[in-house]
Amino acid sequence: MRIGVLALQGDSREHLLLLEQLGVEGLAVRTDSDLSKVNALIIPGGESTTISKLLVNFDLMPQVRDFAKSKPVLGTCAGLILISDEVIGALPDQQLITGLPVKTERNAYGGQLNSFEASVSFADGTTENVAFIRAPRILDAGNCEILATHNQEPVAVKFQNLIGASFHPELTGATYLHKLFILLVEEHQS
Amino acid sequence: MTNNTTESTPLVKSGLAEMLKGGVIMDVVNAEQAIIAQDAGAVAVMALERVPADIRAQGGVARMSDPDLLDGIRAAVSIPVMAKVRIGHFVEAQVLQSLKVDFIDESEVLSPADYVNHIDKWNFDIPFVCGATNLGEALRRITEGAAMIRSKGEAGTGDVSEATKHIRTILGEIRALSSRSDDELFVAAKELQAPYALVKQVAREGKLPVVLFVAGGVATPADAAMMMQMGADGVFVGSGVFKSGNPVARAAAIVKATTFYNDADVIANASRGLGEAMVGINVSDLPAPHRLSERGW
């Protein structure tokens, strides 16, 4: 198993370190050729506007969209925005990867002044401390499975081969979301 | 905010800087430039009334920007907006926090307001970035609450040599610190004029506890890629974009070279057809009182 981390911009290094810690091979993905070498892809936190522009400017958007149609993809924060089917607060011409049937609002908790740390609860009772930074909010989780909540609101969801989370597990050393993603990748391989 | 949450923690402040990594932050003076920067893939913009090259050419006291200018730029883009305050001017910082900018740069590019003290940045909920020319200076700024460090370089020159010197100095001093034995770190803290606990943490982890960008003199895609290859987490481009012949093309090319910093073929292609780079000034031709990087202590 080799999991790619989209490394156009953002905190790809923290995700790669987390994968290493969990004993999984990771690869920084910047090109079509990198993408062909991985079984799954993590789209990290960063600036969603910027990552979207770079996917288009570097001619990578169609390949990533194709990848997300069948292979496991985990999007955190900016990554969640990019894989959401509907985004409120994005630029009018913003290109998205889409695939996750949720309605997400960008910077929904406010600007940097309203960024926060919080504990999130997973379905099996596991709780972890994570960071929400200029975070998106899942307004409507549609038919997705709810993986984690914060104050009764969904903050991590799964639909088929896609997982989206509004928070950053990689900044606080939380590993549970990545473990769930690795299980999903294993299921897809078998 | 609702229960079960804590806002504006050090992690949340340095966390925003983590999200800027691998990115280019561009100086802009109006909404039109901000949109060009955003379209080119800039990860944030620094809103200013004058870019450093003009501050240098025109002289006079350089201060915080007009709130109306900041509002206009914030309304035009969806990426984070940073703004500068004078070194030590904590009321300018209070004003920027009230205006809800995303990041404050306590910057030597503006005229210092206090030649002794920097701002106590722990008093603010907004994260700060500060300049540094060496490791001791970087650690003093982090001690005061900076959530991000940028090496200073020499702003407004288009001459990358000072940026090179400062990033090499900071990273070299970190490597040297990592090779010291534990009982040598006490005197290292004395030499660096920085707190022992922080010095020990940097020695153990082999890196700063916050993100380290490069600033001051980056003018070409190759300049940006060189800073990344040396170990920067990202770059600030000040006058280099909008003082060049073709800002739209140059902005996109510098962004591309920053992402693909290890790929010389991509950097070569990105360097084509950019028109004239900013003319610039050689730092060695600047008389000492006009070197901005010497502001801050």
Tens place of pLDDT for every residue, chain B, 297 residues? 445 688 878 889 999 999 999 999 999 999 999 999 999 999 999 999 988 888 888 888 999 999 999 999 999 999 999 999 999 999 999 999 999 999 999 999 999 999 999 999 999 999 999 999 999 999 999 999 999 999 999 988 989 999 999 999 999 999 999 999 999 999 999 999 999 999 999 999 999 999 999 999 999 999 999 999 999 999 999 888 998 989 999 999 999 999 999 999 999 999 999 988 877 788 888 877 678 888 887
Q: Is B6 in the A-facing interface, judged by CB distances under 8 Å?
A: yes
Put simply, the answer to whether A7 touches B22 (Cβ < 8 Å) is yes
What is the pTM for the complete model shown? 0.94
pLDDT of residue B286: 81
What pLDDT digit, counting tens, does each position of A2-60 carry? 999 999 999 999 999 999 999 999 999 999 999 999 999 999 999 999 999 999 999 99
Catalytic residue selected from A14, A105, A128, A170: A170
CB A3 within 8 A of CB A27: yes
Compute the distance between CA of residue A21 and CA of residue A124 in angstroms, rounded to an integer.
22
Question: Which two tokens mark A97?
Answer: 């990867």
| Closest of B162, B25, B209 to residue B105, by C-alpha | B25
Burial A43-68 (b: 16+ CB within 10 A, else e): bbbbbbbbbbbbbebbebbeebbebb
Q: How confident is the model at residue A110 (pLDDT cuts 50, 70, 90)?
A: confident
Compute the distance between CA of residue A1 and CA of residue B146 in angstroms, rounded to an integer.
39
Catalytic residue selected from A14, A77, A144, A150: A77
pLDDT of residue B20: 96
| Closest of A95, A50, A83, A51 to residue A156, by C-alpha | A83
Put simply, the answer to whether B23 touches A114 (Cβ < 8 Å) is no
Put simply, the answer to whether B12 touches A117 (Cβ < 8 Å) is yes
Which residues are CB-neighbours of B229 under 8 A, at least 6 positions away? B261, B262
Closest CB from A12, A54, A116 relative to B6: A116
pLDDT of residue B1: 43
Question: Which two tokens mark B210?
Answer: 């916050």
What pLDDT digit, counting tens, does each position of A83-95 carry? 999 999 988 889 9
Chain A: which residues have CB within 8 Å of chain B? 7-14, 30, 45-47, 49-50, 53-54, 57-58, 77-78, 89-91, 106, 109, 111-119, 131-134, 150-151, 168, 171-172
